[in-house]
Amino acid sequence: MLIDFFQTLRAARLPVSIREFLVLLEGLQAGVLDDDGGPTVDKFYHLARTTLVKDEVHFDKFDRAFGAYFKGVQALTDFTGDIPLDWLRQVLEKELSAAEKAAVGKMGWDELMATLRKRLEEQQERHEGGSKWIGTGGTSPFGHGGHNPQGIRIGGPGRNRSAVKVWEQRAFRDYDDTLELGTRNIKVALRRLRRFAREGAQSELDLDGTIHHTAANAGLLDIRMQAERHNRIKVLLLMDVGGTMDEHVHRVEELFSAARSEFKHLEFYYFHNCVYDFMWKDNRRRYGERTPTWEIIRKYNKDWKLIFIGDATMSPYEITQTGGSVEYGNEEPGADWLQRLTHAFPAFAWINPEPPGVWDYRQSIAMIQQLMSQRMFPLSLQGLEQAMRLLSR
């Protein structure tokens, strides 16, 4: 049975290896699913996903393959088109006694699927508190908000974690390229900019080396250690702050948080609207503790990847004119400093939290795009992936 499951995952183009499949089998043989009431489909789903899926970006694809193999509800019918939302609106919450709960019967899988198909063909109106139809409350195996030892949860939150199709809610729709990102999704995109190396103290067991040297030493244990494996990519992050960036604070904070966890070598500085002759690391002390931009250019070599984060929304004079800054009399236009930075760091990109649909209507964005050699990307999953691919060349 599980060999067919493995082949289904491979057919769905999931990068699942034999070794990971054997880990899954070992977990089953060790009784990982036996705790807390015994094995359930929900427990197997989480175990399989943990052992077989190496990257969060494949979670959605795994859900589809898992649901298809286990005769998922979505393979049977499309609920979104057939069930009115009013049927799934919970009005009451029915409390059952222990005896009443024990009396509720449990259907097998085939009977559950056949009965659901029949209900979809027959039901014409909303139901709640019953034991047969698709609805809310009660003891029906179809719907939500009630009690059934084995049912199909549809259209609402669960209570007893006994539904056999919880995973079909598709919790990973936020991988849509057009949706706003969460920190986890940003980390997935940033991981495309990786180049690993073992650096630092030898604090990690080198299993292969230990086996090799032990065998060469006639079986006498010879433990070998190695340095921990880190992403050696170095990132210089320059972030616009204040003014029109205030409405993007939450999204930029998510990106900043994800970058700090993904890159061991990360340096950051702030600027306002456009880069001039100085930047700063603490906004509370930006008037007293400034770092000259020339010092930043000299301090970091060409190996550093330069990433600007900003909406590029400002007066065009801030980019092109001496004294054009809204805050002080800059002696050189912002364009000169942007050109110096991109010349000093050949691998560069600009991440813009403004939607691309407005870029053509703001003169300053077009000017920054030109200065960035069109290396401007939106703050979306697709945009970040494109930027990381560019920087990894």
What span, in angstroms and rounded, lies between the C-alpha atoms of 374 and 102?
66
> What gap in Å lies between CA 22 and CA 28, rounded to an integer?
10
Q: What does the alpha-carbon distance between residue 270 and residue 279 come to, in Å, rounded to a whole number?
A: 6
- Is 84 in a helix, a strand, or coil? coil
Q: Is the pLDDT of residue 327 over 80?
A: no
At 63 the three-state DSSP class reads helix
**Which tens digits make up the pLDDT trace of 199-247?**
556 667 888 888 888 888 888 888 888 776 665 788 899 999 888 888 8
Percentage of the chain exceeding pLDDT 90: 20
Please report the pLDDT score of residue 165 as a whole number: 44
Token pair 């977990």: residue: 27
- Identify whether the C-beta of residue 115 lies closer than 8 Å to the C-beta of residue 141: yes
Identify the three-state secondary structure at position 256.
helix
For the ranges 53-62, 81-90, 143-152, the maximum mean pLDDT occurs at: 53-62
- Least confident stretch, 68-72, 205-209, 315-319: 68-72
Encode 89-125: b = buried (16+ Cβ within 10 Å), e = exposed: ebeeeeeeeeeeeeebeebeeeebbeebeebeeebee
Q: How high is the pLDDT of residue 104?
A: 55
Q: Is the pLDDT of residue 344 over 50?
A: yes
Please count the other Cβ atoms lying within 10 Å of the Cβ belonging to residue 247: 11
Average pLDDT, the chain: 75
pTM exceeds cut of 0.85: no
Contact 194, 231 (CB under 8 A): yes
Sign of the dihedral defined by the CA atoms of residues 343, 371, 385, 268, in that order: positive
pLDDT at 127: 62
Using the predicted structure, report yes or no on whether residue 32 has a pLDDT greater than 70: yes
Mean pLDDT value of segment 102-112: 60
Structure tokens, 88: 């799934």
Band (pLDDT 50/70/90 cuts) for residue 153 is low
Cα diameter, the chain:
83
At 239-287, the pLDDT tens digits run: 998 888 888 888 888 888 888 877 888 899 999 989 999 999 887 777 7
User: What is the three-class DSSP state of 134?
Assistant: coil
Closest CA to 309 of 255, 357, 262: 255
User: Once rounded to an integer, what is the mean pLDDT over residues 125-136?
Assistant: 64
Average pLDDT over residues 102-114: 61
The pair of structure tokens assigned to 335 is 């364009």
Whether the predicted pLDDT of 368 surpasses 90: yes
Please report the domains of the chain, with CATH numbers, ordered by start residue. 2-167 (no CATH), 198-231 (no CATH), 232-391 (3.40.50)
Confidence of residue 376 (pLDDT cuts 50, 70, 90): very high
275-280: which pairs have CB atoms within 8 A and are 24 or more residues apart? 275/238, 275/308, 275/334, 275/337, 275/338, 275/341, 276/325, 276/330, 276/332, 276/334, 276/337, 277/330, 277/331, 277/332, 277/337, 279/238
Q: What confidence score (pLDDT) does residue 345 get?
A: 95
- pLDDT score recorded for residue 169: 39
Taking CA 359 as the corner, what is the angle to CA 314 and CA 343, rounded to the nearest 5 degrees? 70
Min mean pLDDT across 44-48, 226-230, 325-329 is at: 226-230
Amino acid identity at 228: E
